[in-house]
Amino acid sequence: MRPELLTSITDALKQISTLTETNGELSESLTRERITFGKIIYDLNNQLEAKNGACDKLNRYLNQAHEIMLDREHQIIELQSRIEALESENALLKEQVAQGEKKSWQLQELCEMLQGKKSEKFIPEREKVDAAIQQTLGPDFDLTELEEIIRVASTKGDVQQVDDQIRKGNRKKKKHLAHKGRRVQPSCIEVVTEIIDIEGDKTGLIPMGKKVTTYYEYKPGKIIKVQQERLQYRTEDKKFICQPVAPRLVEKGTVGNSLLAHLHSRRFGYGDPYTRQLQYIKSTTGISFAASTVNGWEEMAFKKLLRLLRCMKKVIVQARYLKVDETRLDYLNDIGEGKPSRGWLWVFLSEEQKLVLFEFNPSRGHKVPQQILKDFKGTLQADGLGSYVAAFKDNEEVDLMTCLSHIRRGFKKAEKYDKKLAAEALTLFNIIYRIEAFAERKKMTDDQRLALRQKYSVPFLDKIRTWLLEQQQIDHLPGTPIIKAVNYALGQWHKLKAFTTLGYVDADNNGVERAIRPVTTFRNNSLFAGNEHGAERVALFYSLIESCKLNNIDPYIYLKDIYDRLHDCPAHELIKLLPPYWEKKNT
């Protein structure tokens, strides 16, 4: 069905016109809105571009900051690695400095041992001495007696600086050509002829010439030639008789006992080697002896003197107090070639008996003193060598005592490197030694000496120990001379008990070190012993001669006398030939 036309054309046109106007208005409005939205979009685009530019700028800033942070981190890592490298280098330098200082100390000590001043004298300041006394003993002590004990010297000794370098030399082999036949002696030498006839009735005896014995003797300042002419006879039954040869230490040799005693006393008493003696004898008298011949004479004398040495060993172990030390003595080993082997002279001193025993052994181990002193019962004073501790740790009959001088010596060595601390310890040690010197001057008995030590020395020893413990708690540089001295002193301190409980013991074993000094001269002049047996001979002669020095006996007179008497001396009278009990035989 067709819709009806409700309006006319005019109305329709009006509506169309209205709609057209409305459409135009809408178009205008839409245009304006488009323009507005375009402006908004434009502004937003501009803002967005500005924001994007700002973002780009910010990104650039962030990238730059990131790069800077990376550079800083890299720099930090590099700095940390450099710090670690510097710390390790610093530690290495400190170690090298410590090693350098240690080597410097060792070199200085070696130079002082070889050529430097041996004195260990320390002169403290008077104010430090007074302060040490006041702090240790307090106000209540005998001022008059103590001032007499402690005297301060006015001058100080000079310290010799030694910078000489030590050079080693190589020993070259030299072929020795032995002299063929007997040496021709000069005719100008003084000759003493002795005609010896038999004793008793010579009835019925037929003279048959004479037997001549020739040997050389020593008189002070010269050597003489002795010719003994022993008249010889024959009996009716064709037997030959004559007076026997007077006994000499070297039988059938060309040396008399006096010349033998002169050679031995010069070599071992005064450090004069045989080569120098023989050169001097030849240049002054014209008499020439072969060095090998003289060495053979020494070997024969050694064999004869061995029983006297055994007697000395039996006597010295009966002492109640012994000092012991050891010193180096090189020798040529019979097996193999090369540099000399190192051996040791063990030295045992009994000041009560005035005897010194030298024993040679290639070893420095504990079995040597353990074997030599197996029958010893008493106080044994030694340094801190571990061999003595190991030898007598299970022996309750031997009381091992340390040496106060060795303890003090460490602080004396440290004086150059830490003068203030070393002086504190040395001042206290000085007072103890002055107390001992006071007792020696007053010639005190053992009981008086012990009472003096209990009154004065013990408080100072306690103060030294307290000071040592305090130093051990302080953070000293490890390996320095002062801390080494402190540790050594504390390690040896418990062995000072005998010093405070026995009046007949000494503070140190310097006596045995004095007995060792001639061995140093022997090493400088002779370098080494010919072999191990030669070193044993050295020990025997040093035992006799150093014992003579302790008893104020001339070694030459003593050796000459015992060489004359040893051949017919019974075993029970051998002790009378030892230096402390020796009396010169009236001739």
Closest by CA to 558, choosing from 587, 585, 522, is 585
For 263, the token pair is: 């050679």
The reported pLDDT for the residue numbered 165 is 33
Q: What is the DSSP string of 475-525?
A: -PPTT-HHHHHHHHHHHHGGGGHHHHH-SSS-S--HHHHHHHHHHHHHHHH
Check: CB of residue 535 under 8 Å from CB of residue 327. no
For 102, the token pair is: 């240690």
The reported pLDDT for the residue numbered 103 is 74
Indicate the SS3 state at residue 23: helix
Check: CB of residue 481 under 8 Å from CB of residue 414. yes
The reported pLDDT for the residue numbered 166 is 30
Give the per-residue SS3 of 413-469: HHCCCCHHHHHHHHHHHHHHHHHHHHHHHCCCCHHHHHHHHHHHHHHHHHHHHHHHH
Claim: this prediction has a pTM higher than 0.75: no
Q: Which residues contact 572 (CB under 8 A, 6 or more apart)?
A: none
Instruction: Count other C-beta atoms under 10 Å from residue 302's C-beta.
Output: 18
Check: CB of residue 541 under 8 Å from CB of residue 555. no
- Residue by residue, pLDDT tens for the chain (587 residues) are 455 544 578 888 888 888 888 888 888 888 888 888 888 888 888 888 888 888 888 888 888 888 888 888 888 988 888 898 888 888 888 877 777 777 776 677 677 666 655 666 766 766 667 667 766 776 656 666 666 666 543 333 333 333 333 333 344 444 555 556 666 666 567 777 777 667 776 666 766 667 666 667 777 777 777 777 777 777 777 777 776 777 788 888 888 888 999 999 999 988 888 889 889 888 888 888 888 888 889 999 999 999 999 999 999 999 999 999 999 988 877 665 667 888 899 999 999 999 999 999 998 899 999 999 999 999 999 988 889 999 998 888 999 999 999 999 888 888 888 888 888 889 889 889 999 999 999 899 999 999 999 988 899 999 999 999 988 888 777 778 888 889 999 999 999 989 999 999 999 999 999 999 888 888 888 877 778 888 899 999 999 999 999 999 999 999 999 998 998 888 889 999 999 999 877 65
- Cα–Cα distance for residue pair 493/490, rounded to 1 Å: 5
Instruction: Count other C-beta atoms under 10 Å from residue 533's C-beta.
Output: 14
- Cα–Cα distance for residue pair 112/363, rounded to 1 Å: 26
- Cα–Cα distance for residue pair 223/259, rounded to 1 Å: 8
Number of H helices, E strands in the chain: 17, 9
For 116, the token pair is: 């430097």
Residue entry with tokens 């059938």: 252
Burial of 215 (0-12, 13-18, 19+ CB in 10 A): buried
For 320, the token pair is: 């109640």
Check: CB of residue 313 under 8 Å from CB of residue 373. no
For 108, the token pair is: 């200085």
For 389, the token pair is: 């501790």
